[in-house]
Structure 1
């Protein structure tokens, strides 16, 4: 399969640089076949909440997703165009609207079945004034019926954006002290906490058991620590392990320097 993927859907002669899969059987099996586990596979987990929808938060509708994706993509492209002195090559899966709608289509299919045709009209949340805005695009994932014994259903925050975040869209080893030393802006902290509370509200309303965010930026981790939110940080060892196979310029092997994967987020999972 690894050989076939080198030219799979390579339209117009565009080279295929690699393949990413998400292992649910740990890290070793696919590593033997060339898909090495990503350096980090962690997430933050929050409980659903008996909280009101925060008054400062605007709910994101389906027709607003494309604009938020476009704004986020501009930020990623700007970060990727700036060199990282210690890393030659980086790779990122862009969080475009097609990725989001794929997850939302799965959400709506399951919701119709479980809730008698009802589907969620809130697809995320946004708070704060321009320049300091925080927004999230989310999806509800039902692994079983909410009435089943020990359900394990999740509201995934597919994409979390903090406009003023200088630590975002960077590999963790490259986040410098100048990016992390500044005091947390209280306005941004308030918006971040409200966004998570909105997600907790939706998790409760749609009978989900937890809220998850994959690979928060360094700033988002600081905001989580300094907030009043209850949470766990979990390093995944068995399930949803991002595993990367990078192709070289010939049939024999890999790249001279393998890319560092930026933004190991749930929107890229499939």
Structure 2
């Protein structure tokens, strides 16, 4: 009985260590059967001069942040940290149809984390795909699967930002002080997500958090676009929603946060006060 009791007391620690090991080592290592999945359509990105890529790119949330430094010898250094932890990894990069493919070499020369105090786990990624996006005199690095999100934040007025602190897209060191004229240079697949100006749609039907709008594909609406609505009663309320299906002249959006807009009310691609 005593041995069983000891085993039961030890089990959570053993399981915890095992789960931590899996979490730290799983990124890029787990095998998945993709035989029945359709192959993604490859997009060719606008060419960027190699010399422009050899720089340090940063983002910050005001408390900490991350950097990616791309070197002329096609190596990179990635750092991530806040006040209680810091991690760094090294590797090399290649270009795939304009996409920068970062391949970690498994070396983590600086990895300090107060795991027990704050339950912070440093994630080890093996491969990361980022796209360089030129916008006027600026150069961003955006994760390949976050480009639509980037476009939504451009429409909403969160980009271009005027300081380092902002949305989690890497921006070349000092570029937040440079002008961003025109629109970001994007392939047609993504440039369609950028609004030409103010855009509004009316809610024609509302079923709890699901809304039917009176604008569709022919009006420039695309799946994944974010829409906004603001309401005033005793205080200001902001609602954000995402387009989930699109027809020629109508679309369906789902509310992701905030009060549900009612039939007859108007939504837009930009909140009234995006910088607030």
User: TM-score normalized by structure 2?
Assistant: 0.23
Say which structure is richer in helix: 1
Structure index of larger Rg: 2
User: TM-score normalized by structure 1?
Assistant: 0.23
